[in-house]
Amino acid sequence: MISIKNVNKWYGSFQVLTDCSTEVKKGEVVVVCGPSGSGKSTLIKCVNALEPFQQGDIVVDNTSIADPRTNLPKLRSRVGMVFQHFELFPHLSISENLTIAQVKVLGRSKDEAIEKGLKLLDRVGLLAHANKHPGQLSGGQQQRVAIARALAMDPVVMLFDEPTSALDPEMVNEVLDVMVQLAQEGMTMMCVTHEMGFARKVADRVIFMDAGQIVEDCPKQAFFGDVSQRSERAQQFLAKILQH
């Protein structure tokens, strides 16, 4: 579904991604972790071309990102993304947030969009809030709406960029629950997150990045199994994370 091939990216002369390659198969859940500044957010943003890269290619559902002929808006409309800071549109009501792209990007009718949006809103348990505005919801609720908003586009794959790291601790689980459910339903997911509990529960593979490189890319069992088999940097990272 996603195939990342030898991606290199520079900000000026500073290399932020070095020769990154990996695959995410259909129905697979891949967790990307690593210390801050390791390039994991940059990498996931390359997948839907929010961040340009200079070398290599990423192919999403048979569409090449590096190909200049690719219709990027069209590609992005099939790739759902959930952001650290939710990024709901604050001037629109919750139901408008759920429908605007369905109508303006996919060209669905208003009724169809509303039906779809409300169904998904119900699924994340927030149907009662349809007519509120984002500013009236808690962070956890906003992030659940953001997930529903992405799902409303019928994405072939979902990208999560640290979806719980801006949340108060007591709200993390309500968001993770939605993500777990999604994973169990077979959604293809690529998640940048530090939530190792989530990774243990649903991830098929774990990627560990450091300094712009993919250092580890292995099945969950291996990653959480015999730690001594892991690279030194991954060990350090895990030790730090698991302390908390």
Partner 1 sequence: MNYNWDWAIFFKPTGIGSEIYLDWFITGLGWTIAIAIVGWIIALALGSLLGVMRTVPNRWIAGAATAYVEIFRNVPLLVQLFLWYFLVPDLLPEPLQIWFKQDLNPATSAYLSVVVCLGLFTAARVCEQVRTGIQALPAGQTAAAYAMGFRLPQIYSNVLLPQAYRIIIPPLTSEFLNIFKNSSVASLIGLMELLAQTKQTAEFSANLFEAFTLATLIYFTLNMGLMLLMRAVEKKVAVPGLIAVGGK
Instruction: Give residues in contact with partner 1 (CB under 8 A).
Output: 45, 48, 50, 73-81, 83-85, 87-91, 100-101, 104-106, 132-137, 149-150, 153
Would you state the structure tokens that stand for residue 174, as one six-digit string?
């309500």
Crossing angle of helices 169-184 and 139-151, rounded to 10°: 20
CB of 16 to partner 1, least distance (A): 16
Which of 67, 242 has the CB closer to partner 1? Answer: 67
CB of 224 to partner 1, least distance (A): 30
Per DSSP, the three-state class of 207 is strand
Which of 78, 119 has the CB closer to partner 1? Answer: 78
CB of 155 to partner 1, least distance (A): 10
Which of 192, 199 has the CB closer to partner 1? Answer: 192
Which of 158, 206 has the CB closer to partner 1? Answer: 158
Per-residue buried b or exposed e for 159-185, using 16+ beta carbons within 10 Å of the residue's own CB: bbbbbbeebeeebbbbbbebbbebbee
Nearest to 208 by CA among 181, 234, 177, 236: 234
CB of 74 to partner 1, least distance (A): 7
Q: Tell me the residue ranges of DSSP E strands in 78-195.
A: 79-82, 157-161, 189-192
Which of 40, 45 has the CB closer to partner 1? Answer: 45
Report the C-alpha gap between 222 and 230 in whole angstroms: 9
Which of 45, 230 has the CB closer to partner 1? Answer: 45
* Phi then psi dihedrals of residue 181, to 5 deg: -60, -45
CB of 34 to partner 1, least distance (A): 21
Which residues partner with 206 through β-bridges? 31, 218
Rg (CA), the chain: 18
Q: Which amino acid is at 49?
A: A
CB of 203 to partner 1, least distance (A): 22
